[in-house]
A = this chain, B = another copy of it.
Amino acid sequence: METAQKKAVVLLSGGLDSTTVLALALRQGFDVYALSFRYGQRHQIELERATAIANSFGVSHHIVVEIDLAQFGGSALTTSSAVPKHQSVEEIGNQIPITYVPARNTVFLALALAYAESLDCFDIFIGVNALDYSGYPDCRPEFIQSFQALANLATKATVSGIRRLQIHAPLIHLTKSQIISQGIELGVDYSMTTSCYDPDAIGRACGHCDACLLRLRGFAETSITDPADYQE
């Protein structure tokens, strides 16, 4: 006998994946509470984009949480270490890159869980993708399943076992081009999104970091031109 719209917390970075997930959650009828993080990332432009994207979708709840992961060190995304650049996707390699941020998705999901519990909400959306980031431990399906198991032990409402908390990762098995195709169908304006790890001062993408190369390949495979601004 629920009449109110179901709430969902959506992790929104301002990138291609999380923006597509936001559109999906809205299409599924959720009342969306978007959550972004200022975590010491060098590409803080994504937070302006996340806010603009939330506004463009008419999402009235969007909070930005400050959490200084740079305090811990350990990633080129939060330190002055150079972001690796390549000429093509093939050069990226299979090692976990130095742009990996230690335990980032665990931290983001934990904070999403805290927000969800405060809202009496049982649905959390995250735009992780196992295919393009096979090197990231916290983008794997087994990681998401394990977090869901944890979430169902971690909060007040789950103690009784009656309410189940669900972690939605709808992109996890999709390729970048499949994600883009789905987003286009949902009306996502990808010119608003930013994927680059190392944009210039006015937010133009570098075109050569792993994130740019994967994004560009995804657009190439869909035969759609990437509407993002590039430096060259």
Chain A interface (Cβ < 8 Å from any Cβ of B): 63, 65-69, 71-74, 96, 100-107, 109-111, 113-115, 117-119, 137-138, 140, 142-143, 146-147, 149-151, 153-156, 158-159
Contacts and interface: CB of A to CB of B under 8 A. Distances in A.
A142 B153 contact: yes
B96 A156 contact: yes
A68 B66 contact: yes
A109 B151 CA distance: 13
A32 to B, nearest CB: 16
Query: How many copies, total?
Result: 2
A114 B118 contact: no
Contacts of A72: 114-115, 118-119
A106 B158 contact: no
Sort A-B residue pairs by CB-CB distance and give the 4 closest, nearest first: A74-B118, A102-B117, A110-B110, A103-B114
A155 B103 contact: yes
A146 B150 contact: yes
